[in-house]
């Protein structure tokens, strides 16, 4: 009798909604016709205002999916408890989990996942100090590396200048035949040629001088690029008054992670010694105090927090570490999987989804 009643309910749902059988079956299994969705606050994916209203990237996705399925959703909050959220999903207390849940191998053995709706990588958050003005900027450039590059460039100018003088000193009046004035003319010619200024007051005439000039012209393009890149690198790295300038510095640094996150998993795989914090806000405060030198966490979350709290002394390094796909988690074999996937694909490939991502994350990111 129970099976017969379930069949009649399924047929009635199909006739009333005009939906496909899988969607109707999904609704029969929900509580009072609602899809019960577990969530937790993970800015900018899930936020809750002082008025109790939910919003965020994942929340807007869930609301749009509910509209597509014509099935209301009930949000149940698991207050900063990702383990409790997934345990409730596994026990069947909720129909889906929606927050900022990455698709991982371990999770796939316990749950089904929808298609991804957002891809994000890990970032490195470091503490910086404000710029000290012109003197500080000049000081950032005065490094041993910069001095070595400049010294090598000067030596090369002298060598090329002396060589062009040896080849051209008897070819005409462009290069003085005396040693010091002649080498000075050669260095001047090498400098203006390297910078593509080309005044034309010193011109090689002989075949030997012209061959050297041709080689020097092409070599100068590479040399100027290396010199410019070195100065820019010294300036940027000097602006970061921190011991961490990239992933290679993490093994020697005090690194913070948030327990139970992708950042902790990645750091463990890299063999890093880390300090675990229960929440990202606590890890960020530890970085501000100088207790740690870097925080490894999702870039999208870090960027949102910097923007929200105005943390000018914190900066995300340009390196992107492991990339993870975020999706909605469902119980294994859930009849909701296919209906939600069809609605999700329609939404994330629609013209309005980029605006939603831009609204909360600041970059148009698509799976």
DSSP string, 200-241: SSS---SHHHHHHHHHHHHHHHHHHHHHHHHHHHHHHHHH--
**Are the beta carbons of 301 and 102 closer than 8 angstroms?**
no
Q: Where in the chain is CATH 3.40.190.10?
A: 2-117+327-360, 242-316
pTM above 0.85, yes or no: no
- Would you call the peptide bond into 44 cis, given omega within 30 degrees of 0 as the criterion? yes
Class of domain 2-117+327-360: alpha beta
Cβ atoms 265, 244 nearer than 8 A: no
pLDDT of residue 24: 43
Q: Given this model, what pLDDT does residue 180 score?
A: 84
What is the reported pLDDT for 125? 94
Q: Choose among 239, 237, 232, 231: nearest CA to 149.
A: 231
Q: Residue 6 has what pLDDT?
A: 40
- Please give the Cα distance from 12 to 171 (Å, whole number): 102
How far is residue 123's CA from residue 68's CA, in Å, rounded to a whole number?
Answer: 34
Residue 326 near residue 120, CB atoms below 8 Å: yes
Residue 224 burial (10 A CB sphere; 0-12, 13-18, 19+)? middle
pLDDT score at 140: 58
Among 6, 43, 56, 26, CA closest to 298: 43
> If you classify domain 137-229 with CATH, what class do you get?
mainly alpha
Where are the domain boundaries for CATH 1.10.287.70 in the chain?
137-229
For each of the chain's 367 residues, which pLDDT tens digit applies? 434 344 334 333 333 334 444 444 444 344 457 899 999 998 899 999 888 899 999 999 999 999 999 999 999 999 878 888 999 999 999 999 999 898 888 888 999 999 999 988 899 999 886 555 555 556 656 667 777 878 888 888 889 888 887 887 777 667 777 888 878 888 888 888 887 766 666 778 778 878 888 888 888 888 878 777 776 766 665 555 557 888 999 999 999 999 888 899 899 999 999 999 998 999 999 999 989 999 999 998 998 888 888 888 899 998 888 888 999 999 999 999 999 999 999 999 998 999 999 888 875 443 4
Q: Which residues contact 331 (CB under 8 A, 6 or more apart)?
A: 89, 90, 92, 95, 111, 112
Cβ atoms of 78 and 85 closer than 8 Å:
yes
Q: Give the CATH architecture of domain 242-316.
A: 3-Layer(aba) Sandwich (3.40)
């Amino acid at each position: 009798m129970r099976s017969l009643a379930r069949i009649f309910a399924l047929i009635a749902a199909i006739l009333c909604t005009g939906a496909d059988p899988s969607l109707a079956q999904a609704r029969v299994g929900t509580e009072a016709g609602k899809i019960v969705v577990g969530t937790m606050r993970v800015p900018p994916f899930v936020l809750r205002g002082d008025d109790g209203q939910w919003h965020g990237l994942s929340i807007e996705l869930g609301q749009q999916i509910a509209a597509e399925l014509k099935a209301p959703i009930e949000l149940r909050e698991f207050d900063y408890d990702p383990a409790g959220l997934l345990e409730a999903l596994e026990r069947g207390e909720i129909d889906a989990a929606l927050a900022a849940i990455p698709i991982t191998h371990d999770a796939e053995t316990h749950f089904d996942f929808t298609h991804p709706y957002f891809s994000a990588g890990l970032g490195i958050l470091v503490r910086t100090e404000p710029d000290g003005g012109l003197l500080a900027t000049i000081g950032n450039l005065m490094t041993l590396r910069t001095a070595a590059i400049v010294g090598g460039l000067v030596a090369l100018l002298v060598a090329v200048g002396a060589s062009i003088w040896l080849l051209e000193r008897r070819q005409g009046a462009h290069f003085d035949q005396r040693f010091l004035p002649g080498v000075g003319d050669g260095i001047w010619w090498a400098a203006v040629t390297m910078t593509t200024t080309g005044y034309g007051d010193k011109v090689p005439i002989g075949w030997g001088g012209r061959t050297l000039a041709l080689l020097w012209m092409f070599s100068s393009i590479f040399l100027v690029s290396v010199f410019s890149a070195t100065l820019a690198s010294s300036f940027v790295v000097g602006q970061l008054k921190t011991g961490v300038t990239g992933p290679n510095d993490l093994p020697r640094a005090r690194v913070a992670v948030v327990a139970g996150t992708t950042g902790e998993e990645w750091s463990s795989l890299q063999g890093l010694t880390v300090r675990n914090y229960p929440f990202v806000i606590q890890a960020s405060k530890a970085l501000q105090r100088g207790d740690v030198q870097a925080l490894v966490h999702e870039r999208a979350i870090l960027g949102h927090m910097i923007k929200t709290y105005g943390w000018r002394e914190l900066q995300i390094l340009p390196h992107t570490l492991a990339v993870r796909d975020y999706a909605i988690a469902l119980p294994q074999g859930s009849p909701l999987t296919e209906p939600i996937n069809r609605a999700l694909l329609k939404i994330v490939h629609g013209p309005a989804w980029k605006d939603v991502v831009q609204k909360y994350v600041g970059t148009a990111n698509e799976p």
